[in-house]
Chain A
């Protein structure tokens, strides 16, 4: 068989078949149901996420935050925290003994 003949029968073999349309119709019918969720990249959807973000401040929360900051500033500048008595000093801390290494083996409990 010559090369030309082979080319000719190959081209004839791969021409469109009526069965392809029937199969395509069946495939389309199967695709009519619910589709699976799409795979979305988190990074690519970031601009949309930021555009949808509500940046308007909530004024009651802003007022509460400012109040706390002012209170902290007053307490710090007046030195109130220095007069608070400490009930437990570091010397009476029992955990020091508990976690001391063994004198001979050096192992920790």
Chain B
């Protein structure tokens, strides 16, 4: 049963099959959390986004048409949720902010012994969110520029610009450190 394609599972989910949904969620939850964590730089937010994304898969399954690969559709949902969350977070009143977020990377990243890695994590956190998304999709998900452009609803040249600027910023940060 585990060897069923994502598209076949989606067809079953469209019919309200809970077991198929659990299987699909199990298959993609790790990748979804990882991508969201790379974009948001906050694991708790990333888990919220992952849960929200999987629930959207469930609710929208009957309307889903297999014109594109399921993974591309899911990645697009995750990236849009992350971008929405970052956009909304800028306008929240101070009272809703709760505890002050630690600007440093996650604990797991802080424990990295490699100095380059630690500096890179900090530099990625400082990147604008769309540049971070482009970097995460290209290096984290291994997507081509065309696929990244499709997910970010942008052009290939715009993605190339995002990546180029991101890498220039990272290089400056690492050289200046």
Contact = CB atoms under 8 A, between A and B. Distances in A.
Do A and B make up one complex?
yes
B68 to A, nearest CB: 19
A18 B26 CA distance: 16
Interface in A6-51: 6, 9-14, 16-21, 23-24, 26-28, 30-31, 35-41, 44
B26 to A, nearest CB: 6
A1 interface: yes
20 contacts: A1-B174, A1-B175, A6-B171, A9-B120, A12-B114, A14-B38, A14-B136, A18-B108, A19-B43, A23-B37, A23-B47, A24-B29, A24-B50, A27-B32, A31-B22, A31-B51, A36-B58, A38-B59, A39-B62, A39-B63
B60 interface: yes
Contacts of B38: 14
Which range holds the interface residue count of chain A? 20 to 34
A52 to B, nearest CB: 14
Contacts of A16: 30, 34
Interface of B: 14, 16, 18, 21-22, 25-26, 29-30, 32-34, 37-38, 43, 46-47, 50-51, 54-55, 58-63, 106, 108, 114, 116-117, 120-121, 124, 135-136, 139-140, 167, 170-171, 174-175
Contacts of A40: 62-63
Task: State the main secondary structure of chain B at its contact with A.
Answer: helix
Is chain A's binding surface mostly helix, strand, loop or mixed?
helix
Given A19-B108, A36-B59, A39-B59, 15 more contacts: A1-B175, A13-B120, A13-B139, A20-B30, A20-B34, A20-B37, A24-B33, A27-B29, A27-B32, A27-B51, A27-B54, A28-B25, A31-B25, A35-B18, A38-B58
